[in-house]
Amino acid sequence: MPATRDQVLSSVWRDGIFKDKVLFCTGGAGTICSVQVRAFVILGGNACILGRNVEKTERMAKDIASSRPGSKVLGLGAVDVRDAEALAKAAERCAKELGSIDFAIAGAAGNFLAPISQLSANAFKTVMDIDALGSYNTAKATLPYLVESAKKHRNTGKAQPTGTGGRIIFVSATFHYTGKPLQAHVAAAKAAVDQIAHSISLEFGPLGVTSNVITPGPIAGTEGMERLSKQDDATLKRSKASVPLGRWGEVKEIADATIYLFSEAGSYVNGHALVADGGQWRVGGADMGGFQYPDFLLGGEIVSGVAKGAKKTKL
């Protein structure tokens, strides 16, 4: 059963603001990106989501499409963001079948907890390739279409009868703002993602394209939080207390940030990293996922007690 509108969006958004527009999203079957896409579709748009798992991606596409009668959502599985040619072909198919690409989200990501002492060069490279190279490939595949959309839906700061278009969002993290144990690989990758986004804002801004970053904090019910934190009651209580607002975020709060940047309200926002984490990064300290710093490092503790399985996750 698809999520209801109030589970996905705040009530402030007007229906139909993305009528006939198209969103291209890598990692679109993940717990955060799927809600970003769902919110866009509820507000009138169509979408194409990409992922490596064929069944999961196609199932999520059908579920998102059921959120609004008449919507079209393509689910393209077996697409690896590290493969630039595969992404280019996916973007071409999206534009051909849905009519355009007006918005893009680079959301495919890989993460797991590991101190450098337990982090192989191959594991480090894998995260760099998925996050940084994958984000770059997503941008390269979609930018020609985003430029065309920006021409059709000009960003003048005034109300446009055709609405907005020509915008890309990168999903990042805050670990590289201060440094974080167990996350050297992700901090390095997300720092690169941020700079790719900022470079696009400078190089494609003159063509009308906006490029921004959304940085989610701890979001309840997501694959990322299951993989990046112990799940015992004491750890969860301490984690929520570490956020100045006293709670984890909700997926709808990331969707709201997305709609803001894609909407007319965000027309003059370009080259910005929008952090939606309740202020956690400013007070987070050096603890990570329930592992107390520096004791677990000095004791040579093996990272355990977090979700196991594939080391790749989608936001």
**Structure pTM?**
0.93
DSSP of 3-38: PPHHHHS-TTSPTTTTTT-EEEEETTTSTTHHHHHH
Instruction: List the structure tokens of 313.
Output: 């996750």
* Domain spans, the chain: 11-314
Which pLDDT score is estimated for 293? 87
* Cα–Cα distance, 107 to 27 (Å, whole number): 5
* Cα–Cα distance, 190 to 137 (Å, whole number): 15
- pLDDT tens for each residue of 265-295: 999 999 999 999 999 999 977 888 888 888 8
Enter the CATH code of domain 11-314.
3.40.50.720
Which DSSP helix (H) or strand (E) runs through 46?
strand 46-50
* Cα–Cα distance, 235 to 293 (Å, whole number): 14
- Per-residue pLDDT band for 305 (boundaries 50, 70, 90) equals low
Closest CA to 60 of 45, 50, 70: 50
CA angle 290, 291, 297 (to 5 degrees): 175
- pLDDT tens for each residue of 180-208: 999 999 999 999 999 999 999 999 999 99
CB atoms near residue 273 (< 10 Å):
16
Q: Which residues are catalytic?
A: 172, 190
- pLDDT tens for each residue of 226-274: 666 677 888 888 888 889 999 999 999 999 999 999 999 999 999 999 9
Which pLDDT score is estimated for 311? 42
3-state secondary structure of 102: coil
> Phi and psi dihedrals of 54, rounded to 5?
-65, -50
The percentage of the chain sitting over the pLDDT mark of 90, rounded to a whole number, equals 78
Residue 312 has pLDDT above 50, yes or no: no
